[in-house]
Structure 1
Amino acid sequence: MFTGIIETFGTVKSVIEEGTNLHFTIESSLSNELKIDQSVAHNGVCLTVVALTDTTHTVTAIQETLEKSNLQHLGEGKLVNLERCMQMNGRLDGHIVQGHVDQTAVCVKREELDGSWEYRFKYDGSKGNVTVEKGSACVNGISLTVVNSAEDEFSVFIIPYTFEHTNLQEVNVGDMVNLEFDIIGKYVARLLQK
């Protein structure tokens, strides 16, 4: 379980294809603190650490993960948002995040405002996922407050700290992001379908 509060970002050093899997080697300030078999969220996707060096860690994404996320588009030099799993004795600063991406969205608006940024994301509304204004959504692993919620899109506003310390700085109109919708909202939506 995660909180959506990004600890740091890493840089993709290599991507190796093996069958339908992709192995990502990431360089980050967290890598030397990780352990083999530890769960770490990468752009909001919970992946298991399978190899380590002093400055890098390697994770593997299988085909199902690649099909539901933007990881398939990561290349060398790209930034990846990183968060270690939540400690049970810590504060929940963001919201409850599972590290299971529901679907992707496309950035349809990025506007720099006077001291903040507005991003608007459009997703496939037929999958039954919903947002509510002032609710939470996870974008590339970042816990964000939803603004201007619609049936298949929503906006978020980003403060300078979040912009500078996450890979949203690289997200432009037309780029794909990972979405994990609020777990409570998903259960409510499922119950209403019955």
Structure 2
Amino acid sequence: MFSGIVEELGKVRKIASSSWEITANVVLQNTKIGDSISVNGVCLTVTTFNEDSFTVDVTPETTRRSNLELLRAGSVVNLERSLRVGDRIGGHFVEGHVDSTAKVSFVKKEGNSYVVTFTLDAKLMRYIVEKGYVAIDGMSLTVVNPQKDCFSVAFIPHTFMNTVAKNYSYGTVVNIEVDILAKYIENFTTKRTNTTINREFLNENGFM
């Protein structure tokens, strides 16, 4: 579990089959084998580490769901260590289980902020609500102006310049994780509605 507050930028040093080596500094502090680190919003398990890097195993399912398949040696990535009990939660609860990817469709400077618009599949847009949370490449961000197939977020200068967001341009593929609460609520209400309908059907047909 993460909070969506990026701790530092790392760099992909080496990709050897499914094993990746990523350079880091801050996230290596107090880290041990088996710990979780968010890499562009993807929860990955540390398998080995040294003074300036760590390695993780990346599965085919992970690459299919995320933008990791587009990364190469030298690519810059957002990094965050998993939360500890008692930590402050500066963003929102982020699982590190990427739902899908989206594409940057527009980037503009607006006052002291950077407004970025993303195009997203309609099946996930139903979870995107005005002023709700969304994790983009592991960054906890607030939704602005959601539409049928797109939404925007406003980056403060610090977040924009100290994350992979500074490299965003038209067509950039990003990882998206919608708020898990939205999916739980939908699942619960759908099952409850179906149960109610089934009971009414049984009652009307003399089975109850």
Q: Please, what TM-score do these two structures have when normalized by structure 2? A: 0.87
The equivalent of 2:166 in structure 1 is 169
The equivalent of 1:35 in structure 2 is 32
The equivalent of 1:57 in structure 2 is 54
SS in 1 for 2:55: strand
Can you list the C-alpha shifts for 1:99-151, whole angstroms capped at 9, x where unaligned?
10011101111112232111111111135752111110000000000000123
The equivalent of 1:2 in structure 2 is 2
1:96 aligns with 2:106: no
Conserved 8 A contact 1:137-1:181: yes
- The residue correspondences of 1:18-167 to structure 2 (distance < 5 A) are 22-30=18-26, 32-33=28-29, 34-127=31-124, 129-167=126-164
User: What's the offset of the Cα at 1:189?
Assistant: 2.3
Distance 1:30 1:51 in 2: 16
Can you list the C-alpha shifts for 1:7-54, whole angstroms capped at 9, x where unaligned?
11101111112xxxx322111113542211111111111000111121
Rg bigger for which structure? 2
Distance 2:28 2:88 in 1: 24
Provide the aligned length of Structure 1 versus Structure 2.
190
User: What's the offset of the Cα at 1:75?
Assistant: 1.0
SS in 1 for 2:144: coil
Conserved 8 A contact 1:79-1:167: yes
User: What's the offset of the Cα at 1:162?
Assistant: 0.2
Q: Which runs of 5+ in 1 are unaligned?
A: none
Distance 1:31 1:189 in 2: 35
Identity of aligned residues (%): 39
The structure in which a higher percent of residues are helix is 2
Q: Which runs of 5+ in 2 are unaligned?
A: 192-208
Distance 1:182 1:150 in 2: 17
Letter in 2 for 1:73: L
Relative to structure 1, is the Cα distance of residues 127 and 5 closer, same or farther in structure 2, using a 3 angstrom cutoff?
A: closer
Distance 2:83 2:113 in 1: 28
SS in 2 for 1:186: helix
Letter in 2 for 1:14: K
SS in 2 for 1:107: strand
Relative to structure 1, is the Cα distance of residues 95 and 77 closer, same or farther in structure 2, using a 3 angstrom cutoff?
A: same
Conserved 8 A contact 2:7-2:27: no
Distance 1:130 1:162 in 2: 24
